[in-house]
Homo-oligomer: A and B are copies of this chain.
Amino acid sequence: MRTHELVLSWIEKQLSDGHLVLGGRLPAERALAEQLEVSRTSVREAIRILEAMGVVRAGVGSGKDAGTVVIAEPATALGSALRLHVATQHLPVADIVQTRVLLESWAVSRAKADAPELVEAARLLDKMDASSAVDDFLALDVAFHLALAEAAGNAVVSTIMGSLREAIEGYAAALTANLPNWDSTANRLRCEHRAILEAVHDGDGGRAATLVTAHIEGYYREAGLGRPPGETRP
């Protein structure tokens, strides 16, 4: 077993034993190295991995933001991993989209009509009405869909949903260039969002799932999923 893996397993044990909790701090790198009788290099390699996994955040200096603190951002880790494997062409973008449809349609069909996340979702829709810039609109769109997914109350589903979205974010942004008319597309998306949210509010999970599926698949179809950006549609 390599040295940094030893450090890794030590830290993981501290986590599962509850000796390290969310917001807590790891010992300083030098101290941890001395305590485990390994080099600081190995400690740092372990911390790099935990950072990539979204388990810790390292900050220089002194005080509040300094040191290595325990966080919980699984979506960043999953997103990076998925993105890398999309880059190697091992995970097709179409499969990611399909998985996202699956998770999100399940989420809206399960969402409680009085879930607090829906209030936030409605607020985001209001902001989208006033947003014309593509980048702003897409950012709000991401937040809206995430809020919708969180309303189902399954942390794993919403986390994976977010990471799937993150993995193809660059891809999706490039696809907007394929759209014949952004303004009309944006208006259509606004309407569809309202309809989805209304279905959830009505407690009609089946309708919400159908709408969300059509919403996502329709967008990628219009933007030309699978074809290089810039190419005209057949």
Contact = CB atoms under 8 A, between A and B. Distances in A.
Contact of A74 (B16, B48, B53, B82): B82
A96 interface: yes
A85 to B, nearest CB: 4
Contacts of A84: 12, 15, 50, 53, 55
A159 B22 contact: no
Interface residues of A, number: 45
Nearest to A106: B102
A75 to B, nearest CB: 10
Contacts of A98: 154, 156-157
A87 interface: yes
A170 to B, nearest CB: 10
A44 interface: yes
Contact of A90 (B22, B49, B78, B154): B22
Contacts of A45: 44-45, 48
A86 to B, nearest CB: 8
Interface in A24-82: 41, 44-45, 48-50, 52-55, 70, 72, 74, 77-78, 80-82
Nearest to A157: B99
A89 B32 CA distance: 24
A155 interface: yes
A155 B22 contact: no
B12 A159 contact: no
